[in-house]
Chains A and B, each alone.
Chain A
Amino acid sequence: MYWNTRYETMAREELGQLQLERLQVTVERAYYNVPHYRRAMQQAGVEPGDIRSLEDLKKLPFTTKQDLRDNYPYGMFAVPLSEIVRIHSSSGTTGKPTVVGYTRQDINTWSELMARSLVCGGATKDDVIHNAYGYGLFTGGLGVHYGAERLGASVIPISGGNTKRQVMIMKDYGSTVLTCTPSYALFLAEVIREMGLTPGDLRLKCGIFGAEPWSDNMRKEIEKKLGISAIDIYGLSEVIGPGVSIECEQKNGLHIWEDHFLPEIIDPDTGEPLPYGTPGELVFTSLTKEALPVIRYRTRDISMLSVEPCSCGRTHVRMRRVSGRTDDMLIIRGVNVFPSQVESVLLEIGETEPHYMLIVDREGTLDTLEVWVEVSEQMFSDQVRQLEAKENRIRAEIESTLGLTVKVKLVEPKTIERSEGKAKRVIDRRPKN
């Protein structure tokens, strides 16, 4: 099932030609309308006319989150504010927020891409889409909403929070597709169980989850607990929001909508483009965005691209699930640690709840990592040595995955905060220089 057969299954050669035409227009628009891009391109000694093939993309300078911050709030817009019909913004938890704007045509494009994504993930116009992404400045809620309406599905704009009521509505209104963060999906599963319900009492068939990195084991857990098929969707507000890429039913990489975004993988240290099949940092150039064109935007997300044909018939390149954002990456005693690695180990062991918290601290000059894990009924024992044996097993497995000494602390259930949006998994108590 495709939403837009022509574009989703376009031959790669034709797709490349389309990309080049659109790239040339984008670069020209950015150069003439955004002082930052003109300055950056002049410094790099490149002009719009130099872009004659897709190969020439690498001549263009990168754009970073810092560039967006430096031009806060509207400095990166390529159209006057009067043309802007919507403004979204990042939370700004890691610094000054970044502001993104959309023209009427941008909203149209985004709705098209989200409709495509929903269909690719298994939704149809006959579905009741329970949209529990947050509505507001965050792009998740409204992004999915507009795509679901474009598709013609029935949208429940429930947003986040009030979880018991969400379950009641899911049950009574017959929601068939759940859209939210994966951590909230797990929390919903927990509340469903606590309310004495089973997945059989609901009509959910699939879930489209994103906005935070999650592991394949987490997918299995969600699929088991909710009795659904769980699909990974990817996007970031700077590029457009959700709907940049999504898995098809193969669940083997996310198709990037290449008629609108040009992806690259680069070496995060040298900035050199890397060939297909090599992991590195994901970089996007927008091809159709009017309000906020982005040129070689560095996502900080680690992935890998594959152009192997997919049995779903879509010709668009697939990116490997993002294992972590370099922003989320912790450097502990010189070792790179992604919280999702710990999550994966816990789910692999299977007896623990996938709710965990990483506490990073410093004793003297040495970084320490403590992992809090909730004790499930399944792993609990009335005997200290059995419980300690389980604690030791968790510790050993995490240590062998991370290559780092850790301390595991068993905590009582529900002591780790449940998230209704993006989960908070790390408390870093190390002094900042």
Chain B
Amino acid sequence: MAKIKTHVEESDVLIIGGGMAGTGATFEARHWGRDLKIVCVEKANIDRSGAVAQGLYAINCYMGMQWNENQPEDHVRYARNDLMGMVREDLGYDMARHVDSTVHMFDEWGLPMMKNEKTGRYLREGKWQIMIHGESYKPIVAEAAKKSADKIF
């Protein structure tokens, strides 16, 4: 075992783990807290860390509220059935109502999404999933985190 050094860092917002959620949270935190000191800690390089390290060729949940494909209520029902009733419906609802704007944001950042050329809708491979070219899903979001955080370890 190598020697472990202790590093002390003061921060206003400390994000533990720089996977998909952590890097996203870093970006969002900077939007609301412009003057705060935001620090993200991650054991590996955030360009390739967490479950999306090798890329992910689908976004597993997209409502498509703009085309009335699904509404948050549909997602709550799906999750409730899937988990046999053991769900926090308010949390499921909250996730579902925010997911579309996040997906649109990734589209804006350059994540290649597969679209129907005629309708402009995202191509689906299931009721909730949409298809993307996600080799660089993580590096794109990591880029956003790097621009936002004061420090990344």
Tell me, yes or no, whether A binds B. no
Give the interface of A toward B (CB within 8 A): none
